[in-house]
């Protein structure tokens, strides 16, 4: 935004549903106790695969694959984020409520453009509705774009986040790439390969002024974000980490923040050799090689 001071955009609500359970309380409890809930897959046959574990939403235990929809999973966490922010008390017109949905697979590789409008209809959000398909960065990108909508005056409330469901087709695709770990993944560790997990997470975005009007204490301030693409390879990042560095640089510049001010990094940490090596190089190079800064992969 130019020519005026930027509004302070905050996260006023959170919602999640994943392998450790439904709701932010379940996720926090799992983090505090060190539980990942990666387990044997029963939803579909994994005969012939070198790994047979994944993180599956327990609410669907015993269900057939066709009954496990991205819409249901996304609705669950988006409604928690809405309730967490007490957004119904904000008095915002539906046409000023936006939805930005990040996803890798849509509804099992179908319905990419349909999923976001269907979710918006369920939530009663009649404002801007966008789908972000930037793979593993989709949900984070959705939050950044949501901040932009509020700054530009295109929306007053934004529901931003993402969802993906593990199906046999998704599992087989990653297996064919040789990207899966035979056991539990170990990001930035000696064991190579990723462990797939399904889930959904959403946040409520609004200005600090609007959240304070109903006495909501924000979870975080969205100061800035950055995007990049190094076009090195279809599935492999530039080994130098240059793409990561450009994204970090853009985020810090957007937030008017110096590298020395960073004290925590939430990393991608896929567990694969190419991604972990490039990401760690990019982070360390840009942050001045400060190994004492904690980094966590979720």
Question: What is the reported pLDDT for 3?
Answer: 45
Question: What is the reported pLDDT for 2?
Answer: 46
The confidence band for 76, taking pLDDT boundaries of 50, 70 and 90, is very high
Judgement on whether residues 95 and 229 belong to the same structural domain of the protein: no
**275 alpha carbon, distance to own chain's centre:** 17
Non-local CB neighbours of 40 within 8 Å, separated by 6+ positions = 52, 53
229-273 confidence digits (pLDDT tens)? 888 888 889 999 999 999 999 999 999 999 889 989 999 999 988
Inform me whether the pLDDT recorded for 1 exceeds 70.
no
Looking at residue 95, which CATH number applies to its domain?
Answer: 3.40.47.10
Q: Other C-beta atoms within 10 Å of 113: how many? A: 10
Write out the H or E segment, with its range, that includes residue 68: none
Beta strands 295-297 and 265-267 are: parallel
pTM: 0.94
The percent of residues in the chain predicted with pLDDT above 90, rounded, is: 79
Distance CA 14, CA 79 (A): 9
Question: What is the reported pLDDT for 56?
Answer: 98
140-186 confidence digits (pLDDT tens)? 999 999 999 999 999 999 999 999 999 999 999 999 999 999 999 98
Judgement on whether residues 93 and 239 belong to the same structural domain of the protein: no
Is residue 46, in this structure, part of any structural domain at all?
yes
Judgement on whether residues 185 and 263 belong to the same structural domain of the protein: no
Q: Other C-beta atoms within 10 Å of 42: how many? A: 12
Q: Which two tokens stand for residue 264?
A: 């925590």
Q: Of the candidates 191, 213, 235, which is a domain's last residue?
A: 213
Q: Decide which of 70 and 233 is more confident.
A: 70
Judgement on whether residues 108 and 155 belong to the same structural domain of the protein: yes
Judgement on whether residues 184 and 54 belong to the same structural domain of the protein: yes
Q: Decide which of 26 and 183 is more confident.
A: 26
Question: What is the reported pLDDT for 4?
Answer: 61
Under 8 Å between Cβ of 198 and 73 = yes
Q: How many domains is the chain partitioned into structurally?
A: 2
Q: What is the mean pLDDT of residues 122-135?
A: 96
Question: What is the reported pLDDT for 292?
Answer: 79
Question: What is the reported pLDDT for 289?
Answer: 65
Is residue 92, in this structure, part of any structural domain at all?
yes
Non-local CB neighbours of 7 within 8 Å, separated by 6+ positions = 1, 150, 151, 207, 208, 209
Q: Other C-beta atoms within 10 Å of 121: how many? A: 12
Lowest-confidence pick of 84-93, 101-110, 142-151 = 101-110
For 275, the domain range is 223-297
Is residue 1, in this structure, part of any structural domain at all?
no
Q: Other C-beta atoms within 10 Å of 236: how many? A: 13
């Amino acid at each position: 935004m130019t020519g005026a001071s930027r509004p302070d955009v905050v996260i006023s609500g959170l919602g999640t549903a994943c392998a450790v359970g439904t709701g932010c309380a379940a996720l926090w409890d799992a983090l505090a106790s060190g539980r990942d809930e990666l387990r044997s897959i029963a939803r579909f046959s994994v005969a012939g695969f070198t790994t047979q574990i994944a993180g599956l939403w327990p609410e669907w235990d015993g269900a057939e694959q066709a009954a496990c929809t991205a819409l249901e999973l996304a609705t669950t966490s988006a409604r928690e984020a809405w309730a967490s922010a007490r957004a119904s008390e904000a008095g915002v017109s539906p046409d000023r409520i936006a939805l930005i949905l990040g996803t890798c697979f849509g509804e099992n590789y179908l319905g990419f453009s349909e999923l976001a409008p269907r979710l918006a209809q369920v939530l009663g959000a009649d404002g801007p509705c966008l789908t972000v398909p930037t793979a593993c960065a989709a949900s984070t990108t959705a939050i950044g774009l949501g901040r932009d909508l509020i700054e530009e005056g295109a929306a007053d409330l934004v529901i931003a986040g993402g969802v993906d469901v593990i199906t046999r087709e998704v599992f087989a695709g990653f297996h064919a790439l040789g990207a899966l770990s035979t056991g539990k993944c170990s990001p930035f560790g000696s064991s190579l390969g990723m462990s797939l997990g399904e889930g959904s997470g959403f946040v409520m975005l609004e200005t600090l002024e609007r959240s304070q009007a109903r006495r909501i204490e924000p979870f975080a301030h969205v100061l800035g974000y950055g995007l990049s693409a190094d076009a090195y390879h279809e599935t492999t990042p530039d080994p130098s980490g240059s793409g990561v560095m450009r994204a970090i640089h853009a985020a810090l510049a957007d937030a008017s923040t110096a590298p020395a001010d960073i004290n925590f990094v939430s990393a991608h940490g896929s567990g694969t050799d190419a991604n972990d090596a490039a990401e760690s190089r990019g982070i360390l190079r840009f942050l001045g090689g400060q190994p004492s800064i904690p980094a966590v992969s979720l």
